[in-house]
Amino acid sequence: MIRILAALLLMALPLRAEEIVSGVSQTGVSITTSFDGAAILIYGAAIRDAPAPDGPLMEVIITVEGPETPLVIRKKERVAGIWVNRGAVKIASAPSYYAVATTGDLTDILKPAEDEKYHISVAQKIQASGVAVADQADYLAALQRIKVASGSYKLARETVLLLRQALFRTDVTLPANLVEGTYKVRIFLTRGGMVVDQQDSQIEVRKEGIERTLYRLAMDQPLEYGILSLALALLAGLAASELFRRLRL
């Protein structure tokens, strides 16, 4: 009886016109000594309970967001021929990595109000960091410029392949200098610039092997890690000195 009532309740709930069914090629990435980046395939389809609606075509936006980290943005000015820091702003948390892949130009497939609501574009994602200073626009623009130049933030226009207004896929390349943690994947379907459905998933990035051992030692026992580092440096110096002494003989 309970199952019948549950089925009737589900039938009574309104169905969305379009829903996302998606997946990723791998849900975990291991950082080892030979790690030089990873290519993640993100794919999916839009399922419908009726024929595709008339009007604007469906578009797809995919974002990949790395763990948030604190940042300090410094403003430099040239004084008497020397560059000096004249201001700094601390950001409590900003994505360590952020990529946006789309089927078209973002300004054409997403309305500004929707972007502000979901924080999809690079600019809106940075804006969500919440820098509370009078000239925050300058600092946020500088942060975006630096992150884009380094490849940590990027907008990949028209890199999502959309077939028959239903199937989609894209490849997102994660850089070698990944921050360990959970990477959030968001997929948006839009029509006429409005988001009609969203789906989230995750990719876990973890250090493995000796990298993870050293990382955990540095995080959990910083004093012991420092002593070990000094000891290794001393041993390396003594070994190099002995090697040069033998070569001179």
For the chain, domain boundaries: 15-67+93-208, 209-249
Predicted pLDDT of residue 202: 93
CATH for the 15-67+93-208 domain, from 3.40.50.360, 3.40.470.10, 2.60.40.3880, 2.70.98.40: 2.60.40.3880
Worst-scoring range by mean pLDDT, 110-119, 132-141, 162-171, 212-221? 212-221
pLDDT at residue 110 is higher than 70: yes
Model pLDDT, residue 183:
94
Query: Is 65 a residue whose pLDDT tops 70?
Result: yes
CB 80 within 8 A of CB 62: no
Instruction: Tell me the pLDDT band of 182, cut-offs 50, 70 and 90.
Output: very high
What number of CA atoms fall less than 13 Å from residue 237's CA on the CB side? 6
Q: Supply the pLDDT for residue 198.
A: 94
pLDDT of residue 209: 60
**pTM recorded for the entire structure:** 0.74
What distance in Å separates the CA atoms of residue 59 and residue 195, rounded to the nearest whole number?
A: 9
| Contact indicator for 249, 243 with CB cutoff of 8 Å | no
When pLDDT is averaged across residues 14-24 and rounded to a whole number, the result is 77
Mean of per-residue pLDDT scores for the chain = 80
Burial 226-237 (b: 16+ CB within 10 A, else e): eeeeeeeeeeee
